[in-house]
């Protein structure tokens, strides 16, 4: 299969998942899920844990924060090198204006990595939640029209690799 045919299939499958233009409960849930993977949300949460937690929780928050920051640098570098435009659409103006490139998905990379790190380093109750949450964020990003399906698949794979490196280097 040629690259052009793969990209055409990717666009078709992504469009089939799209709900951005359809108001209702499904779009609301997708919006909440999509924003739950925002970097600012996680930075704020980790800062709170570092500020209010004991020494062990502060160390944990810093490990996670450093992994997220390193992954963000890698994702942005790849986006600037590849320069794939986001799908056309109205939803997600903040993403479209601040980061017009879609490949790989930073949200998919971040949430996949966080899911693995929460399994490896987090409290036991967080692991099953994170494993369900991460792919839902990725699907929500496609559903809202800010990513193609291949963007989130590549992002998730990148996040899994980054998590493996983070765990191998050491951790919380």
Q: Which residues are catalytic?
A: 107, 147
Inter-residue long-range contacts of 74-80, CB under 8 Å, 24+ positions, other chains counted: 74/158, 74/162, 75/104, 75/106, 75/109, 75/110, 75/155, 75/158, 76/106, 78/103, 78/104, 78/158, 79/103, 79/104, 79/106
User: Of the candidates 170, 119, 111, which has an alpha carbon nearest to the alpha carbon of residue 137?
Assistant: 111
Longest dimension (CA), the chain: 54
Helix (H, G, I), strand (E, B) or coil at 144: coil
Helix (H, G, I), strand (E, B) or coil at 172: coil
- Phi then psi for residue 158, to 5 deg, are -60, -40
């Amino acid at each position: 299969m040629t690259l052009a045919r793969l990209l055409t299939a990717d666009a078709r499958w992504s469009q089939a998942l799209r709900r951005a233009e359809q108001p209702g409960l499904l779009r609301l849930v997708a919006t909440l899920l999509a924003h739950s993977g925002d970097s600012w949300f996680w930075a704020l949460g980790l800062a709170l844990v570092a500020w209010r937690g004991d020494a062990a929780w502060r160390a944990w928050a810093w490990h996670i924060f450093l992994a997220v920051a390193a992954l963000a640098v890698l994702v942005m570098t790849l986006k600037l090198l590849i320069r794939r435009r986001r799908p056309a659409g109205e939803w997600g103006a903040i993403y479209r204006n601040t980061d017009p490139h879609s490949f790989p998905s930073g949200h998919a990379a971040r949430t996949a990595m966080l899911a693995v790190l929460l399994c490896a380093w987090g409290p036991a109750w967080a692991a099953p939640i994170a494993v369900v949450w991460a792919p839902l964020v990725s699907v929500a990003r496609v559903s809202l029209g800010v990513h193609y399906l291949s963007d989130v698949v590549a992002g998730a794979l990148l996040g899994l690799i980054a998590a493996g490196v983070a765990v191998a280097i050491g951790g919380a």
